[in-house]
Amino acid sequence: VNIIVTDSYEASCGEAANQLLSVIKDNPQACLGLATGGTAQGVYPYLVEAYKQQVVSYTEIRTVNLDEYIGLKPDHPQSYRHYMDTYFFDHIDINPLNTYIPSGSQLLQPEITNFSRILEIWPRDVQLLGIGVNGHIGFNEPGGVLQAGVHIATLDTATIQANARFFASEDEVPKTAITMGVGDILQAGKIVLLATGSQKAVVLKKLLTGEEVTTQVPCTLLKLHRDVTVILDRELAWQVG
């Protein structure tokens, strides 16, 4: 695992954006695996700015997102489709047909099939990841087993509590999500994980300094990939030790 320590969360976002832009520079038809959540949010303004400055064009780029809440319509303000449109797609020259986010409001079984098929026909050159307080990646939550492929995940209590900040109350946070499996995540050519905040220190330590690979801390499975870059700010790095 490569580690990049930056001065600040903002600098980390700029660095993550640069990693994605360099993939696009090498391949203007690249497929980007994208993430939502509070941490990833700061990356998108840099990717939008690069388009505005004519450093990059997204006309031939494809994107596929990690996950989506079950039960939220695409236009729900907390859906990940809405997030991606608002922070990224509405501001760039990407073809909307080339952006895939699993749907949380279709019949589940056909949507699992669709999502799996997309992952097959659109191999990702790079996958952006955040990390949950419990070490989840995508919505692959800690447990005795992890799923390799696309599945419906039941959100961990810790995840529901962490995500309640985006909803009016904890009760409104969906309890399930459709997500890539860990096998899907590991199939990306390159993985860029962005982390900030002291509540991520414990699980990051298990990824960066621990010896184990365990389904109880899903991010540790990233040790099985040959090209993972973790970007974190100095404050968090200090807490990871």
Largest CA distance in the chain: 47
> Does residue 33 interact with ligand F6R by CB under 6 A?
no
- 141 has catalytic annotation: yes
> Does residue 37 interact with ligand F6R by CB under 6 A?
yes
Q: Which residues pair with 63 in a beta bridge?
A: 32, 99
> Does residue 138 interact with ligand F6R by CB under 6 A?
yes
Residue whose structure tokens are 């098929």: 117
- 172 has catalytic annotation: no
Question: Dihedral, CA atoms, 204, 210, 215, 220, nearest 10 degrees?
Answer: 50
Q: Which residue is nearest to ligand F6R (CB)?
A: 130
Candidate residues 67, 125, 141, 233; the one interacting with ligand F6R per rule CB under 6 A: 67
* Contact pattern from residue 112 through residue 131 relative to ligand F6R, giving x for each residue in contact according to CB under 6 A and a dash for the rest: ------------------xx
Other Cβ atoms closer than 10 A to 55? 12
> Distances in Å between the alpha carbon of 62 and those of 149, 154, 162, 164, 215?
20, 28, 30, 30, 30
- 225 has catalytic annotation: no
Catalytic residue (one of 125, 136, 156, 233): 136
6: part of which helix (H) or strand (E)? strand 2-6
**Minimum CB distance to ligand F6R smaller for 136 or for 190:** 136
- 114 has catalytic annotation: no
Provide the binding-site residues for ligand F6R, judged by CB under 6 A.
35-39, 66-67, 130-132, 136-139
Q: Mind telling me the catalytic residues?
A: 67, 134, 136, 141
